[in-house]
Amino acid sequence: MTTMVLAAGDEFVAPGVKDFFLPPIFGEVTKPMVLLVLSILIIGAFFIAATRNLKLVPGKFQFAAESLYDIGRNSIAREQIGAKDFKPFVPLILTVFTFILVNNLFGLIPVVQFPTMSHIGFPLAVSVLVIYPVYHFVGFKRHGFVGYLKHQTMPPGAPWFVLILLIPIEFFQKFFLNPLTLAIRVFAAMFAGHLLLLVFTLAGEYLLFAGGITVVVAPIAFVFAIALTFLEALIMVLQAYIFALLSANYIGAALAEEH
Amino acid sequence: MNTLILAAEEGAINPVLPHTSEIILGLISFLLLLFVIKKFVSPRFETLYAERAAKIEGGIEKAEQAQAQAQQALEQYKAQLAEARAEAARIRDDARIEGEQIISELRAKAQEESARIVAQGQTQLETQRAQIVAELRGELGRLAIDLADRVVGESLEDEVRRRGTVDRFLSELDGTSAPAAK
């Protein structure tokens, strides 16, 4: 922000990649790192507090926590993995969902205003280092080494000449693309969304203080920024949901008896 | 100037390339949160859900039990009612049979009684008759002696008188025995 205010004096500098890499707060610690730690503290504290004294007939707070838990448990894990196998994966899916969700929502919370997931390292850590090993591990465990490779790369009923084409594609997709796209999807959405908000907010600010007739159009930029904020809120929740949904989907596909 | 340097430095950063430190921090944070949720949150929720399911199922089971009990009681009552009805019918039948028996018995008894009375009357009559006959026989003997006395007394002089005496005697005899014959 300091950059922009200084720059606004002379000439409008469009926000860019540099706005996502602010100088560290102290030492090597940067804002997204602090936010990430804050997020797990918030989620952990919320769930521990909510589950401390569970009752058969829930109160308001417990109901809220239960609803959140049920999204991870019933509408994502059970739907995607199947009622038979989903139980052990509920904590993982719930963690993925809440972790991504809170870190995304940081982009909207005043003062914080930074979606942690717009740094690709964080979603990448979850998708490539957690989800990817988990679903391949359970797949190999369920079907055996060769069985799982066949299961993942050879859709039943495909004729041989299609298989020649299909096996490399399926292999590439299942073992390289899926975890990467999973991370890139949420990263790109957060990055682009935050950039859009920056553009409209900073442009409005510039127009307001640049002097002259441009002051009149400044509110338009702010109106757009507010509208986009609502859109961003939707996208943030949606991206967290999609990340958890696809994670569960990959696990479900790896465990499924047939395609 | 400061701005420019910062911009120049950070402009070189490629946002698609991940920072190693961020990956490590992201992984550790995620695993920490996963541990907390797996260790504390999920089991508590699952226990609660299991309890809730058990409670609901228990309630349903209880209701089913109550229903089964009610059904059983109803069947029992029905069976008892049917039994009572059968019992009543049986008692009625018994009573009718008994009544008939009593009537026939009474009838037989009455017939017997009447027969007895008739027989008694007859014997009485017989006895009376025998008595009368015996009496008459005695009387006849006496009368015969009487008659013989008279006949001998009147000295047998007149045939006509004799015949008259005999006739009188016989008619006299008729007169005494006639009511007895009846």
Q: What is the pLDDT of residues B42-80, one digit of tens each?
A: 999 999 889 888 989 888 999 999 999 999 999 999 999
Residues of B with CB under 8 A from a CB of A: 2-3, 6-7, 10-11, 13-27, 29-34, 36-38, 40-42, 44-48, 51-52, 55
How many folded domains does chain A comprise?
1
Residue A1 pLDDT exceeds 80: no
Closest by Cβ to A120, choosing from B6, B15, B34: B15
Higher per-residue confidence, B180 vs B33: B33
How far, in Å, CA of B17 to CA of A13, rounded?
24
* Interface touch A40/B33, C-beta < 8 Å: yes
Res. B138 pLDDT band, cuts 50 70 90: confident
What is the per-residue pLDDT for B116?
A: 92
Residue A15 CB partners (closer than 8 Å, separation 6+): A4, A195, A198, A199, A202
DSSP A90-118: HHHHHHHHHHHHHHHHTTTSTTT---GGG
Q: Rounded to a whole number, what is the distance in Å from the CA of A47 to chain B's nearest CA?
A: 6
Compare all CA atoms of chain A with the CA of B16 and give the residue at the minimum distance.
A120
What is the per-residue pLDDT for A221?
A: 85
Residue B2 pLDDT exceeds 50: no
Question: Between helices B20-36 and A90-105, what is the axis angle to 10°?
Answer: 130
Closest by Cβ to A124, choosing from B23, B36, B42: B23
C-beta of residue A123 within 8 angstroms of C-beta of residue A104: no
* Interface touch A17/B3, C-beta < 8 Å: no
- Which range of A120-124, A169-173, B75-79 scores highest in mean pLDDT? It is B75-79
C-beta of residue A192 within 8 angstroms of C-beta of residue A227: no
Higher per-residue confidence, B131 vs A3: B131
Domain range for A239 is 2-255
Percent of chain B with pLDDT over 90: 42
Residue A259 pLDDT exceeds 80: no
What's the whole-model pTM score?
0.69
Determine what percent of chain B falls in helix, strand and coil, rounding each to the nearest 5. Answer: 90, 0, 10
Q: What is the pLDDT of residues B22-47, one digit of tens each?
A: 889 889 999 999 999 999 999 999 99
C-beta of residue A124 within 8 angstroms of C-beta of residue A183: yes
Strand, helix or coil at B182?
coil
Name which of A44-53, A152-161, B161-170 the model is least confident about. Answer: B161-170
Res. A208 pLDDT band, cuts 50 70 90: confident
List the Cα angle B53/B56/B57 in 5-degree steps: 80
Closest by Cβ to B7, choosing from A18, A48, A92: A18
- CB burial readout A118-156, b (16+ within 10 A) else e: bbbbbbbbbbbbbbbebbbebbbeebeeeebbebbbeee
Mean pLDDT of all residues in chain B?
83
Mean pLDDT of all residues in chain A?
86
